[in-house]
Amino acid sequence: MAEESNALIQNGTWSLAPLPPRANVVGITWKFRIKYRAAKRIMRYLRGTISHGLTLRKSSDVQITAYTDADWASCPDTRRSTTSYAVFVGPNLVSWRSKKQPTVSKSSTENEYRALTYAEAGTLWLRQLIRDIGRHSPSPIITCCDNISATYLAANPFQHQRSKHIAVDYHFVLEWLQRGDLLINAIVFASCVIMSVVGLLSGAQSTKKRKTMRFAKRILLRIELAFFKAF
């Protein structure tokens, strides 16, 4: 096992680009050498998705739509959760992220609510960037979350005994909701989009989820179109 691990490093298996001087690698797959299975899983994933790519289509639609998901207590060593989100501008995927949260979440609601917070910080910056280059970005920003409790908490201006442990600084989401700059939808397939984008699945599951994401994206666009036409 030691020889196989050293071969992966010596052959530059992970090097997509040279590491800049005085720079550190911030993303890790495993912390201990005994977790060699993680390396094999990545190699199988890369081999199975080598023909996949990101296609950006020309479109006049600049509506920002974000999908959020979080894996509660996913780290077996620290029990911290993993936050993931994907941001679309019109039909194009332009931003995505998957990162372990800095603190431990006591509940799945707190976990998903933090994911909403991280996603909104990115989408608000992206909307301002679009406006800075002279394009009008429609309001509100649409955010899709698969946790109904988190969407209720975002819209509820009153804290109760079950949500007091959530830090107050995360309630900036509520401020953007009240201003009308943000719209949060509860949909069951938000996690499908996230897992397909960040590559949390492999094999047959990954192929199935990618197909689900394309189907779900078309359905969501139809639902949103019907919703805005109604108003």
pLDDT in tens, 172-208: 677 777 777 777 777 655 555 665 555 544 444 555 5
Give long-range contacts, CB 8 A cutoff, 24+ apart: 75-78: 75/100, 77/31, 78/104
Q: In the chain, what are the domains?
A: 2-48 (no CATH), 64-230 (3.30.420)
Mean of pLDDT over the chain: 72
Neighbours of 93 (CB within 10 A): 18
Confidence of residue 209 (pLDDT cuts 50, 70, 90): low
Residue partners of 68: CB distance under 8 A and separation at least 6? 83, 84, 85, 112, 115, 116, 118, 119, 143, 144, 145, 190, 194
211 pLDDT above the threshold of 70: no
Higher pLDDT among residues 221 and 133, named by residue: 133
Looking at residue 55, what is its pLDDT?
Answer: 79
Q: Which DSSP letter does residue 59 get?
A: -
**Lowest-confidence range among 11-15, 111-115, 180-184, 197-201?**
197-201
Mean pLDDT of 90-116: 85
Higher pLDDT among residues 49 and 202, named by residue: 49
Place of tokens 């077996």: 76
Looking at residue 200, what is its pLDDT?
Answer: 45
Confidence of residue 102 (pLDDT cuts 50, 70, 90): confident
Stated pTM of the model = 0.65
Looking at residue 158, what is its pLDDT?
Answer: 62
Looking at residue 64, what is its pLDDT?
Answer: 92
Percent of the chain with pLDDT over 70: 57
Handedness of CA 31, 36, 38, 43 (dihedral sign): positive
222 pLDDT above the threshold of 80: no
Mean pLDDT of 111-116: 85
80 pLDDT above the threshold of 80: yes
Higher pLDDT among residues 125 and 182, named by residue: 125
Confidence of residue 126 (pLDDT cuts 50, 70, 90): very high
4 pLDDT above the threshold of 70: no
124 pLDDT above the threshold of 80: yes
32 pLDDT above the threshold of 60: no
